[in-house]
């Protein structure tokens, strides 16, 4: 018996950037440095990177960044 589970599709850097409110070039740089979860395709110098939005969201939440706290700290530093 095979379970019919819908799998989350992979998205490109443009869609990941839109989700993160970053430019695709920045998303790719972060992926290369291992700062965000990403899947490189290919073995050569020019790899194609793919992302899962749920993993990006989980990675951001696990860092413990709270927007309200960050805004307060930013105001304190002014």
Contact assessment for residue 53 and residue 68, using Cβ atoms and an 8 Å cutoff: no
4-58 tens-digit pLDDT? 567 899 999 999 999 999 999 999 999 999 999 999 998 887 889 999 999 999 9
Tally of structural domains, the chain: 1
Any idea what DSSP says for residue 18?
Answer: H
Q: Is residue 4 situated within a structural domain?
A: no
Range of the domain at 59: 13-76
Instruction: Please check the confidence at residue 71 and state whether its pLDDT lies above 80.
Output: no
Tell whether pTM > 0.75: no
Q: 32, 39, 36: which is closest to 10 by C-alpha?
A: 39
Q: 45, 46, 78, 19: which is closest to 37 by C-alpha?
A: 19
Q: Is residue 1 situated within a structural domain?
A: no
Q: 3, 29, 19, 28: which is closest to 56 by C-alpha?
A: 19
Q: Is residue 6 situated within a structural domain?
A: no
Q: Is residue 3 situated within a structural domain?
A: no
Q: Is residue 52 situated within a structural domain?
A: yes
Q: Is residue 70 situated within a structural domain?
A: yes
Q: Is residue 2 situated within a structural domain?
A: no
């Amino acid at each position: 018996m095979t379970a019919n589970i819908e799998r989350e599709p992979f998205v490109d850097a443009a869609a990941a950037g839109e989700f993160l409110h970053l430019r695709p070039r920045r998303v790719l740089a972060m992926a290369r440095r291992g700062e965000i979860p990403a899947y490189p395709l290919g073995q050569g110098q020019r790899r194609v990177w793919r992302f899962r939005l749920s993993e990006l969201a989980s990675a951001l939440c696990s860092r413990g960044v709270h927007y309200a706290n960050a805004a307060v700290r930013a105001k304190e530093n002014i």
